[in-house]
Amino acid sequence: MPDAIQVTKNRIVTMDKVRNIGIIAHIDGGKTTTTERLLFYTGKIHKIGSVDEGTTTTDSMIQERERGITIQSACITTFWKQYRINIIDTPGHVDFTAEVERSLRVLDGAIMIFDGNAGVQAQSETVWRQADKYGVPRIAFVNKMDKVGASFQKTLDSITQKLRAPIVAVVLPIGEEHAHTGVIDLMEMKMIVYDKDPEGMEFTVKDVTPEYASAATAARAHMVEKIAGTDDVLMEKYLNEENISVPELKAALRRATIARKLFPVFCGAAWRNKGIHPILDAIIDYLPSPIDLPPIEGFDVNTGDKILRRPENNDSFSGLLFKVQSDPHVGTLSYVRVYSGIVKTGTEVYNSTRKKSERIGRLLLMHADKREGIEEGFAGEIIACIGLKESYTGDTLCDKNSPISLSPIQFPDPVISLSIEPETTDDQEKMSQALNRLTQEDPTFKVSYNQETGQSIIAGMGELYLEIVVDRLKREFGVNVKTGVPQVAYRETISETAEGEGKYIHQSGGHGQYGHCKIRVEPKARGEGVEFVNGIKGGVIPSNFIPAIEKGVRETLLKGIIAGYPCTDIKITVYDGSYHDVDSSEQAFKLAGAYAIKDAVALARPLILEPIMKMEVATPSDFLGTVIGDLSSRRGQIGGTTDSFGFTTVVATIPLETVRGYATVIRSLTQGRGSFYMEPSHYDPVPRDIQEKLTIKTTDKKE
For the residues 527-552, what does the mean pLDDT come to? 93
Classify strands 416-422 and 455-460 as parallel, antiparallel or unpaired: antiparallel
Contact 481, 431 (CB under 8 A): yes
pLDDT digits (tens, 9 = 90+) for 52-85: 666 666 655 666 666 666 666 778 888 898 898 9
The mean pLDDT of the chain is 87
Residue 546 pLDDT greater than 80, yes or no: yes
Q: Is 146 annotated as a binding residue?
A: yes
**117: nearest Cα among 142, 150, 162:** 150
Q: Is 393 annotated as a binding residue?
A: no
pLDDT digits (tens, 9 = 90+) for 287-313: 999 999 888 889 988 788 898 998 888
- Would you say domain 5-292 falls under CATH 3.40.50.300? yes
For the residues 611-619, what does the mean pLDDT come to? 90
Considering only residues 650 and 414, tell me which one the structure prediction assigns the higher pLDDT. 650
Same fold across 296-406 and 418-489: no
Residue 114, pLDDT score: 94
Q: Which residues contact 693 (CB under 8 A, 6 or more apart)?
A: none
Whole-number Å distance between alpha carbons of 617 and 624: 10
Residue 389 pLDDT greater than 80, yes or no: yes
% of residues, the chain, pLDDT over 70: 92
Query: How far from the centroid of its chain's Cα atoms is residue 213's Cα?
Result: 42
Q: Is 273 annotated as a binding residue?
A: no
Under CATH, which architecture does the 296-406 domain have?
Beta Barrel (2.40)
Q: Is 143 annotated as a binding residue?
A: yes
Q: Is 58 annotated as a binding residue?
A: no
Residue 575, pLDDT score: 96
Residue 89, pLDDT score: 80
pLDDT digits (tens, 9 = 90+) for 189-232: 999 999 888 888 889 999 999 999 999 999 999 999 999 999 99
Biggest alpha carbon distance in the chain?
A: 101
The CATH number of domain 610-690, selected from 3.20.10.10, 3.30.70.240, 3.30.1330.20, 3.40.50.2300: 3.30.70.240
Contact 355, 404 (CB under 8 A): no
pLDDT digits (tens, 9 = 90+) for 489-527: 899 999 999 999 999 998 766 678 999 999 999 999 988
User: Of the ranges 127-131, 391-395, 410-414, 428-432, which one carries the lowest mean pLDDT score?
Assistant: 410-414
Q: Is 144 annotated as a binding residue?
A: yes
Residue 646's CB is within 10 A of a number of other CB atoms, namely: 10
Q: Quickly state the pLDDT bin for 129 (edges 50, 70, 90).
A: confident
* Cβ neighbourhood burial of 501 (10 Å; 0-12, 13-18, 19+): middle
Q: So where are the chain's domains?
A: 5-292, 296-406, 418-489, 492-604, 610-690
Contact 12, 6 (CB under 8 A): yes
Q: Is 89 annotated as a binding residue?
A: yes
For the residues 94-107, what does the mean pLDDT come to? 81
Q: Quickly state the pLDDT bin for 663 (edges 50, 70, 90).
A: confident
Residue 167 pLDDT greater than 80, yes or no: yes
CATH fold of the domain at 492-604: Ribosomal Protein S5; domain 2 (3.30.230)
Residue 22 pLDDT greater than 70, yes or no: yes
Residue 451, pLDDT score: 66
Which value, to the nearest 10 degrees, does the dihedral of the CA atoms of residues 394, 395, 399, 400 take?
160
Residue 10 pLDDT greater than 50, yes or no: no
At 481, give phi and psi (nearest 5°).
-130, 155
For the residues 655-679, what does the mean pLDDT come to? 85
Residue 536 pLDDT greater than 90, yes or no: yes
Contact 156, 265 (CB under 8 A): yes
> What angle, 0 to 180 degrees and rounded to 10, lies between the N-to-C axes of helices 546-559 and 586-603?
50
For the residues 127-136, what does the mean pLDDT come to? 89
Q: Is 2 helix (H, G, I), strand (E, B) or coil?
A: coil
Whole-number Å distance between alpha carbons of 197 and 187: 24
Homologous superfamily of 418-489 in CATH? Elongation Factor G (Translational Gtpase), domain 3 (3.30.70.870)
Give the side-chain half-sphere CA count within 13 A for 594.
15
